[in-house]
Every structure is written in C-alpha cells, then in structure tokens.
Structure 1
Amino acid sequence: MAELNKILKPKLENLLEENKDFKDELINERYISNSLIQNISLDYINEEKIEINGCHFVNVTFNECSFRNIDLLDVVFENCDLSNIDFSDSSIHRVEFKGCKLIGTNFTEGNLQNVLFEEVLGRYSNFGYCKMKNINFKECNMKGTIFLECKFNKVAFRECDISSSEFTNTPLKQIDFTDSDISEIALTGSELKDAIVSQLQAVELARLLGVIIK
C-alpha cells in the first residue's frame, strides 16, 4: 500500500459559530474566518482575491461559482459539491476535501501545500502548472485529471483511479503508484524516472510508450 505523507492539518476552533450570511459577507467583506457553513446552496458567486480562514463547510453545493486568486487557509470541505469551480491562481494551505465532488474543478497555476483529498470524486479536474507540496490523494476517483507541468514535492496517491490522466512534463520521482489505476495515462516517458510501479503497471506503461516486450 502506498505510503501517505505526514501533512499539517487545518487549524480550526473547537466550536465554530454557524454563519448563515456567508454569501453576503463574502461579497461585501471579502474575508470570512472561523465560521461553520452547512446545508446550503451557494449560487452564482464570482469573486476574486478573497480570503477564507479557519472555516468548515459541510454539505454545501456551489453552483456556477468562480473564486480565482482565492486564499484558503485552515479550511475543511466535507461532503461538498465544488464541481467546475474556478480556483485558478489560488493559494490553498492546510485544507481538506473529504467526500467532495470536484468534477472539472480548475486549480491551474495554484500553490497547494498540506492538502488532503480523501474519497473525492474529482474526474477531469485540472491541476496544470500547479506547485504541490505535501499533498495526499486517498481513495479518490481522479480519472482524466490534468497534472500538466506540475511541480510535485511529496505528493502521494493511495488507492486512486488516475487512469487517462495527463502527467506530461511532471517529474514523478519516488511517487508510488502501485495500488492506484494508472492505465492510459499521458506522458512522454521521461517523467517516470524513479517512479514506483508494479510489474503489471510497468508492462502497461511500456506498451503506452511504444516499447515491444518479447
């Protein structure tokens, strides 16, 4: 089983007060902290350069939202739907996505540190050109995800479906893929130097790279 990284957890207050005016405060104040946001749908929010600090989102659905250049610090998203959100050019630090939908979510050119993705449905999400340090993907469906030209530093995948994903120009040194599905991933071949794969995966990768095995 692939070993996960030791990452810093979000720092949340023990008793967070429920914030029922989250949308208005976010738009007007552009900063939300130490709040519980739960069981609501947030629709058509398009804001840039906002800050969310020390918040817990539970059963929240985001519809047609964009948060470019957002600063997320010490945040937990639990059973939330963040599909197709634009998180590009953002700073995401000490954040957990647990049991969330992230289908088609855009993280391009973001800076992610100490982030957990656990039991996430994240097909076709986009992490292109991201800097990613101390990141765990645990039991996630990330099929068709783009990891184009990322800078990985201690990124781990455990029991994930990352088939048909793109890793072109993303060095995969010391990343253990042995218990994940990496069938039909896209790369040039050089990215695999010092990656850890099973024998069956090695045969599949050789086939993808045009190697003939006798």
Structure 2
Amino acid sequence: MGELKKILKPKLEAELNRNDDIESLIINENYISDTIIENINLDYINEEKVEINGCKFVNVIFNECSLRNVDLLDVVFENCDLSNVDFSDGSIHRVEFKDCKLIGTNFSGGNLQNILFQESLGRYSNFGYSKMKDINFKECNMQGAIFLECNFNSVAFKECNLASSEFTNTLLKKVDFRDSDISEIALTGRELKDAIVSPIQAVELARLLGVIIK
C-alpha cells in the first residue's frame, strides 16, 4: 500500500524559550523564534508576513486568525485548533501538524515543503494553487479538501479519508491512493495518468468519469 515519503523533520532547539505575550510578538514584532507556546488561545489576530521559526505550539487554539504570507520554518503544532486560519500565499517548510484541527484552513497559493500532517482533521481545507513537495498525509480526515491546480512533487496519502475532495487539474503521477478513501472525488480524468489505485477504486473512478462497465 501507499508508502510515506522521506521528508525532513523540523529542527528545534533542545531548550525552547517561554513567553507569555505571544500575541504582542506577532502583532508588534511580526517574528517569533525558538519558543514553546502552550495552552493558550490566540484570538482575532490579523497580520501579514509573520515569521515563525523554530517554535512548538501545544494545545493552542487559533480563533478567527489570519496570517497571510506567513513564513513557517521548523515549526511543530500538536493538538492545536487551526480551523479557518488563513495561511494563504505562505511559505511553509519543515512543519508538522499532529492531531490538529484544520477544518477549513486556507493553505492556498502557498509553497509547502517537507510537511507532515498526522492524525489531523482537515475537512474542507484549501490547498488550491499550491506548490507541494515532500508532503505526507498520514491517517487524516481530508474529506472535501481542495487540491485544485496544485503542483504535486512527492506527495503521499496514507490511510486518509479523501472522499469528495477536489483534484481538478492536479497531476497525480505516482500518488498511491490504495489505502485511502477517494469516493466521489472531483477531477476531469486526465489527472489520473500514472496514479496508483486498487481495482475497486478503478471501477468507482470509471463510473465517476461516465464509463459504462459491463
């Protein structure tokens, strides 16, 4: 079945700083580095071009936040709620999302590389028009997610729910879907060239594309 890609992990310092005024750093400095942020709510932050480097977020709720053009480098999110956060047009490298809520999170137009999404809820998340290289989705619910006109390069889905997701105009060469749910996905058909699916999935895809099987 689908194998995860070899990707680079975030590089974090052994001892991370603590700061009780993270909102001030984001709003006034537009920069955070080498810091652990735990058990807080970040509310109504609307900033562009924030740089977050070498940080770890644990049990953090992002409430109605917009961080467009964000620069995330070497960052870990664990058990965080990032639902509906706007990360559009961001640069996101060596980042892990573990056991996170990413419902409706907007990654569109971004440059994503060496990223792990693990056991996360990403329903209706938007990756449209993104460049995605060395990305692993492991045991994630991505139902209804948007991968419209993405540039995939070494992207893997392992035991994911991709039902009703959209892959229109995203080439899926060598993407292995065999242990994921791809029922009712949206595409034109040409995207599937050299994709890897099971016989049962092939029948379902044929029906989606209007092929009559007798």
| Residue-pair matches, total | 214
C-alpha deviation, 1:25, in angstroms: 1.2
Could you say what the CA RMSD is over the residues aligned between the two structures, in angstroms? 0.5
C-alpha deviation, 1:15, in angstroms: 1.3
C-alpha deviation, 1:5, in angstroms: 0.4
Q: Distance in 2 between matches of 1:67 and 1:178?
A: 35
Unaligned 5+ runs, structure 1: none
Q: Which residue of 1 aligns with 2:147?
A: 147
* Deviations, residues 55-86 of structure 1 (Å, cap 9, x unaligned): 00000000010000000000000000000000
1:135 is paired with a residue whose SS is strand
Q: Which residue of 2 aligns with 1:196?
A: 196
Amino acid at match of 2:199: Q
C-alpha deviation, 1:176, in angstroms: 0.2
Q: Distance in 2 between matches of 1:59 and 1:182?
A: 30
1:24 is paired with a residue whose SS is helix
2:66 is paired with a residue whose SS is coil
Unaligned 5+ runs, structure 2: none
Q: Which residue of 1 aligns with 2:34?
A: 34
Matched, 1:84 2:89: no
2:48 is paired with a residue whose SS is coil
Residues 90-129 of structure 1: pairs in structure 2 closer than 5 A? 90-129=90-129
Residues 19-58 of structure 1: pairs in structure 2 closer than 5 A? 19-58=19-58
Identity between Structure 1 and Structure 2 (%): 78
2:103 is paired with a residue whose SS is coil
Amino acid at match of 1:141: N
Amino acid at match of 2:193: K
Q: Distance in 1 between matches of 2:148 and 2:29?
A: 35
Q: Distance in 2 between matches of 1:210 and 1:119?
A: 33
C-alpha deviation, 1:26, in angstroms: 1.2
Q: Distance in 2 between matches of 1:93 and 1:21?
A: 25
Q: TM-score normalised to the size of structure 2?
A: 0.99
Q: TM-score normalised to the size of structure 1?
A: 0.99
Q: Which residue of 2 aligns with 1:133?
A: 133
